[in-house]
Chain A
Amino acid sequence: MHEFAITAIGQDRPGIVAGFTEVLLALGCNLADCSMSLLRNEFAMILLVESPQEVGADRLNTALEEPARRFDLVVTTREFEDVPGPEGDVPFVVSVYGKDRPGIVHAVSRALADMDVNITDLRSHLVGGDLYAMILDVAVPPALAPEEVAARLQAISRDLGVSLTFRSTEAAEL
């Protein structure tokens, strides 16, 4: 078995997912994790796919040329190996919002990177003309005090003139 990470992006229209996955199914591939989103009118897909041993990169790329042409998609494929991630990270969510200006994502992500805090999900929207809103899921290493991360982020949000909240999303077991 091979594992591929496939991305595809193009102008949205009905039928992209059906047309694209039809080709993967015909190759005998199985879809594992997928994320697909529509931003304005651009539809983007990330698919982690398990392919049979005899379906390598060349066969996969050749087969995907047809739906790429039909739907005018930019497609990339990359073979990857599943490696275990870090253990014990604590999940937090960060909301950042305020008047739009260049550099908000960069300042927040730079600060997180400097503290070795990993971003696991990020969504942002520019709405109503100039309100910028960004929500991030982050993983704080167990050795790092959440208060320290919160204080650092608050200092940055003051510099940027935006609002920021940092809160735990650790789930209780039920």
Chain B
Amino acid sequence: MPVRPVLIYPHPMLKSVAAACEYVDDEIRALAVDLLETMRHYPRTVGLAAPQIGVPLRLIAVDVTGHPKATVCHGPMVIVNPEVVTGEGSEIGREGCLSLPSITADVRRAKRIFVKGFTLAGDEVSAETSGFEARAIQHEVDHLDGILILDRVASPAEVFPRRQK
């Protein structure tokens, strides 16, 4: 089953902490395929986390290829058990979330990050990135900890209603 339904808040899984993947096996690799295909199914979607498709595991997909705001791009990425170390700088940017479809919000994120985790082959991987790609990774890792953009806004003026598509 490639494209899976995306959970919408208030589904409780979106507010739960996801469990680490103990092994990278065929099941995880199949999940990664579904995660990427579901992400690509939705327009303008540059990232998705496993809990958003109903799997409470620490796995994210990010792909900012061709996005006008991307300054650094590692292409399509799937990271198992991702960990983010935030680096210097912070900036505010507007984010939308498939799991909160009726709003967008201005969120402050670290400008530069260092991310590490495992590939789908089970190898350790690490990367340094910045700007829009770093924002996307931080948003997805937040999903693994049950944190949504509404948990990150600093003031009510930073939340914007939008029409459902």
Q: Which residues of A come within 8 Å of B, CB atoms?
A: 33, 84-85, 87, 91, 121, 123, 137, 169-174
Contact B104 A171 (CB under 8 A): yes
Contact A174 B160 (CB under 8 A): no
Contact B98 A173 (CB under 8 A): yes
Q: Chain A interface: which of B16-24, B39-47, B77-85?
A: B39-47
Q: Which residues of B come within 8 Å of A, CB atoms?
A: 42-48, 67, 69, 94-98, 104, 132, 136, 139-140, 157, 160-161, 163
A5 shortest CB reach to chain B, Å: 15
Q: Contacts of B104 on A, CB cut-off 8 Å?
A: 169, 171
Cα A87 to Cα B140 in complex, Å, equals 29
Contact A172 B163 (CB under 8 A): no
Contact B96 A174 (CB under 8 A): yes
Closest chain B residue to A85 by CB distance? B163
From the candidates B43, B97, B161, name the one contacting A174 in the complex (CB within 8 A). Answer: B97
From the candidates B43, B139, B157, name the one contacting A123 in the complex (CB within 8 A). Answer: B157
Contact A174 B140 (CB under 8 A): yes
A-B contact pairs, 17 of them (CB 8 A): A33-B161, A91-B160, A123-B157, A137-B160, A170-B44, A171-B96, A172-B45, A172-B46, A172-B67, A172-B69, A172-B95, A173-B44, A174-B45, A174-B95, A174-B96, A174-B98, A174-B140
Cα A171 to Cα B93 in complex, Å, equals 8
B38 shortest CB reach to chain A, Å: 12
- Give the most central of A85, A170, A174: most B CB within 10 Å: A174
Q: Contacts of A121 on B, CB cut-off 8 Å?
A: 160
Instruction: Say whether, besides A85-B163, A87-B163, A172 and B96 are in contact (CB < 8 Å).
Output: yes
Q: Contacts of B45 on A, CB cut-off 8 Å?
A: 172-174
Cα A105 to Cα B67 in complex, Å, equals 34
Cα A24 to Cα B163 in complex, Å, equals 27
B64 shortest CB reach to chain A, Å: 8
Q: Contacts of B95 on A, CB cut-off 8 Å?
A: 171-172, 174
B146 shortest CB reach to chain A, Å: 15
Contact B161 A173 (CB under 8 A): no
Instruction: Say whether, besides A33-B161, A85-B163, A137-B160, A173 and B42 are in contact (CB < 8 Å).
Output: yes
